[in-house]
Amino acid sequence: MSDPLSSATGIADAVRAGDVSAAETVAIALGRVEDGGAGLNAFLEVFAEQAIDQARAVDTRIAGGDADRMPLAGVPIAVKDNIALAWGRTTAGSRYLEHYRSPFTATAAQRLVDAGAVVVGKTNMDEFGMGSSGEHSAFGPTRHPLDPERAPGGSSSGSAAAVGAGMVPLALGSDTGGSIRQPAALCGCVGLKPTYGRVSRYGLVAYASSLDQIGPLASSVRDAAACLAVMSGEDARDMTSSAHPVVDLIGGLETPVEKLRVGVPKLHGGMHSDVSRAMTDAALALKTAGAEIVDVEMPFVDEAVSAYYIVAPAEASSNLARYDGVRYGHRADVGLGGSIEEMYVRSRSEGFGPEVKRRVMLGAHVLSAGYQDAFYLTALKTRRLIRAGFDAAFDPAGPGVHAILTPVTPGPAFRLGEKTGDPMAMYLEDVFTVTANLAGLPAISLPVGWSKTDAQGREAKLPIGAQLIGRPFDEATLVRVARMLEMQVGWGG
């Protein structure tokens, strides 16, 4: 490999074969984090000594004949800071949890460690996953790996920046409305959101429990598939995890896509011209690879953002009620004469950032008496109609498509501060991604081209991503189509 960190699966093959040690590979990653991490603010915590110790333990396991049980042997990974580890802090990008240390490790992260991966650090993120730019962290904004004056996307901003900058080949993120796919698209890497229930949420700091999923950000489709294969499977500690069989995602990855049908919906405006061009080129590339391109209708997509920003804040207001300054997290000092109510109010006022407060208040409002029917229940009905629209597109008696091609973002990466004063403009960054979460479907973002200008018409060469949305629990077909597109456009080797 020209770049020793360019491929997670390549690293694992080399480490298992004894061509390179896990300790050597992890040392390279730690060096890159030290050199570039501060400028991007991608990492909130780095585990240098512990990572080297873990890597040496991997080398010992391989020497002892355990290589076959480590598909990710020696792969340096980063973990979004809302995914618990039994070492270091788990802050979720919030002052409220600034000093919180988890007593356990999330199932998804533990499965990667058991497979030989080595965690080099925890990555920055929008507070509690609430943000689309990486600017809503209590610990400062993450910066774009290609242009530090631009936003990397969010909320998995640090993970996307770390992979996009080549500091690690693989990172974990979480996706509630696009928080893996959107920053992956802006930073020029691959982001995969699994079917809801495919990966255990045990150990994930909850934002919106019916939408959240853990997934990988990677340098290639193959690496993302390999990571998902390790993480997938039922977990007795997560009642929402599915018993659906875990399938091989790598064996058929490069099987040609002839006879597969890819749906392309008609989208209405709001897209940068370079994104429109990239989507046309992506559809042509899949057709060239042998896929049949089919027009599909996606009803209620225009209403999806509105439905999402009712459902997600409603669930967030419930989930974040546990942060009361009593059991754990930030507690305000109200003195001996202060009341418990004053302590609650001040703890939350001091601990939560503006975007979290905005969404919690919105969620509490739509669940309140007199508004629940008009807003929350209507949003749930819209959610069911969105899923029905996808089901109709996937139905063999109808269009019978195997995947649906859409943009990921309306435009390329925007400048830091450009949208923070306009929450609605920021929320519309999720217009193409929230439908997959509302419907519980798997979706993958992969880079397919470059912009010529940014949203303001300024010259800017920035990555553009395409999204493929798949049938429930059919990640094997989804990554196969994504790999064919990746090969056609020349990304990912």
Q: How far apart are CA 283 and CA 128, in angstroms?
A: 35
Contact present, 134 and 151 (Cβ < 8 Å): yes
Residue 80 a catalytic site member: yes
Residue 461 a catalytic site member: no
Q: Which of 132, 137, 155, 242 is catalytic?
A: 155
Q: How far apart are CA 57 and CA 79, in angstroms?
A: 19
Q: Which of 7, 21, 174, 179 is catalytic?
A: 179
Cβ-in-10-Å burial (0-12, 13-18, 19+) of 7 comes to: buried
- How many C-beta neighbours within 10 Å does residue 329 have? 21
DSSP 290-329: TPEEEEE--TTSTTHHHHHHHHHHHHHHHHGGG-SSSSSS
- How many C-beta neighbours within 10 Å does residue 193 have? 33
Stretch (H or E) spanning 211: none
Residue 276 a catalytic site member: no
Peptide bond into 155 cis (omega under 30): yes
Contact present, 21 and 31 (Cβ < 8 Å): no
Q: How far apart are CA 236 and CA 140, in angstroms?
A: 36
Which are the contacts of 185, defined by CB distance < 8 A and separation ≥ 6?
Answer: 153, 191, 408, 409, 445, 447, 463, 464, 465, 466, 467
Q: Which of 7, 21, 80, 133 is catalytic?
A: 80
Tell which residue, 474, 16, 448, has the closest CA to residue 252.
474
The residues assigned a catalytic role are: 80, 155, 179
